[in-house]
Structures are given as C-alpha cells and as structure tokens.
Amino acid sequence: MTYCVALRVDDGLVFLSDSRTNAGVDQVGTFRKMNVFENPGDRMLVLMTAGNLSISQSIRQILAEYTSTTGRSVWTAKTMYEAAQIVGEAIRTVYTRDAKMLAEFDINFNVSMIFGGQIKGEKARLFQMYSAGNFIESCDESTYFQVGESKYGKPILDRVVTATTPLDEAAKCALISMDSTLRSNISVGLPLDLLVYETDALKVTRFVTIDDKNQYFQMIRNTWGKALKQVFEGIDDPVWNATPDVTANVLSATNMHSKPVRVPVPGNLPVAAEPAQLQVLAQQSEDKHQH
C-alpha cells in the first residue's frame, strides 16, 4: 500500500508521497512513487501513483516515451487538461494490454494517480486519475487529493487547508497528514518525497527526500503528538445527570429520557433485585435479627 497527497493553493502546489510497497507482511519493498516531468521554463509536471506497482510503472514508462499519432505527449501538451487526457490514454493502453491476463491470475487492474503541475501560459492545476483513465480536477472547495491509505491523514486536511492557505503551511499540513498515516498503518513507510511548487516557477525549486533522521519531520512528529495530548487534556470531562441551565458541559441532563435498547432477560433466569430493593431487604434482615 502507499499514501500520496497533493494540495493546490493559491500560491502553488504541494506533493508528498511515501515509498512503501508490500505484497504481504514479509514482502516489503521501497519504491519511490513520485515522478517529475520537467522542462524548465516551459512545464513542471508531477505524477504520484498508488496501487499495483507493475501497472503504475508501465504507465509511467509509456508517458515518458509516448507520442500519439497527432504528436501529442505530456512534453508537448498545450494545457494541463490535455496532459491529463494523455495520462488517461496511457492508463487505458496498459489496461488493454494487461488487464485480461492479470484477471486470469485473480489480479485486479488497480491503479490510482495524482497528476498536477503547470504549463507555461496557464495556471497550476491538479487532477486525480482513476483506473478507467477518467479524472477529476481540484477546485477551491476541494483543494486536495489523496490516493492509497487516505483515511488516517484526512481529518487534518479537512480542518486546516483552504485555497488561501500559505504554501509552507500547506506543506506542514501535508507532513502532519503523512505522520498520522505512518503512525496508524504499517503499509505506509519512509522515506518520503516532498515537492513544493511555487506558481509560475516552471521548474523544481523545493524538493526533499525525508528519512527518519530529518530534523523538521522529527520535530513535526514530536510536537504534533504533544500538542494533541495537551488539547485533549484541556477539554473538560462530560457532566452526567445535571441541569443544563445551571451546569456547563452537560452530556446527560436530568430532563432527558435516554434509554439503551435492552435485550429481555430469558424467562427461565431469576431476575436480580434492583440495588434499592437489596438495601431494603438488608435493612429488614438486620431489624429481624435485632428483635
């Protein structure tokens, strides 16, 4: 499995991928999931992949070499939308070639990708690609895409990132999202590839491969964990069976009539006495002995 996340904000794009690939608990490998198609001054495109590694590597190779009968390729596309169409065509090419044979071995044609960047003359754009070769584009209301093991790193993105988020803050958020995933799922692992692209740069200016010794990532891991614990401890405990108008943070109010769904006790079992009844019986027994 893997985890890749990309964010599109007003100032540019952030791409982050892990490098874990596994086909079982004892077959773990390291393969980098981020590929850059760069012609400085003209275009800077990034492709990140999740799913079957043989499929994604085949697609990447086709993209690097592919030119259609009309001369189209990711190196010559006039727009990012056209480039995304070419990525979709490469996915379908591999599907046509390999899907039937893979199915005979009970292997699904499973691949998902994030594709984004900027071509000179238009804005930076971001797409999520699917196994059928179709795709969707990010917008101001949906500023990020994830592929792979996405659920653990999603909450921080939903709460923090908007189109106006500064680029470095977006990168920080992506790293926290990745850290949350690393802590919760062993199928995602270091090293990480982080590329931060500034709008109109048309080349790679900020890129780093992050291992377990990276100073900033270690700070993120330690600080985020401590901060979460401090926030958690600062939240009041719930108050039970209280009057809402008098007491704050009431979870259960005296005027509420909440009851669990109780399963009836089988008829052949003795019904235990309520605590209040037990107290009365005990008192009666004590009075009897005293007399």
CATH class of 3-230: alpha beta
pLDDT of 27 strictly over 90: no
Looking at the predicted structure, is the pLDDT value of residue 217 above 80? yes
Measured in degrees and rounded to the nearest 5, phi and psi for residue 46 equal -130, 135
pLDDT score, position 172: 98
Give every strand in the sheet of 111-119, ordered side by side: 34-39, 43-51, 111-119, 125-129, 135-137
pLDDT tens by residue, 227-258? 999 999 999 999 999 987 888 899 999 888 88
Contacts for 62 with CB less than 8 Å, ≥ 6 apart: 90, 93, 94
28 has pLDDT over 70: yes
Q: What is the sign, positive or negative, of the torsion defined by CA atoms of 234, 235, 236, 238?
A: negative
Rounded percentage of the chain residues whose pLDDT exceeds 90: 80
Q: Within a 10 A sphere around the Cβ of 235, how many other Cβ atoms?
A: 8
**Chain centre distance of CA 284:** 64
pLDDT at 26 over 90: no
The structural domains of the chain, with segments of one domain joined by +, span: 3-230
Per the document, the length of the chain is 291
Cβ atoms of residues 37 and 63 within 8 Å: yes
φ, ψ at 230 (rounded to 5°): -65, -45
| 8 A C-beta contact, residue 113 and residue 147 | yes
Q: Say what the pTM is.
A: 0.88
The Cα 131–Cα 88 span in angstroms is 9
Q: What is the pLDDT of residues 98-127, one digit of tens each?
A: 999 999 999 999 999 999 999 999 999 999
CA distance 76 to 184: 41
pLDDT tens-digit profile of 80-93?
999 999 999 999 99
Mean pLDDT of 270-288: 65
Task: Please report the pLDDT score of residue 1 as a whole number.
Answer: 74
Nearest-angstrom CA–CA distance, 93 and 99? 10
Which of 16-30, 43-57, 205-219, 269-283 shows the lowest mean pLDDT across its residues? 269-283
Helix (H) or strand (E) holding 157: helix 154-160
34-61 CB burial, b ≥16 within 10 A, e <16: bbbbeeeeebbbbbbbbbbbebbebbbe
| Number of Cβ atoms within 10 Å of the Cβ of 17 | 28
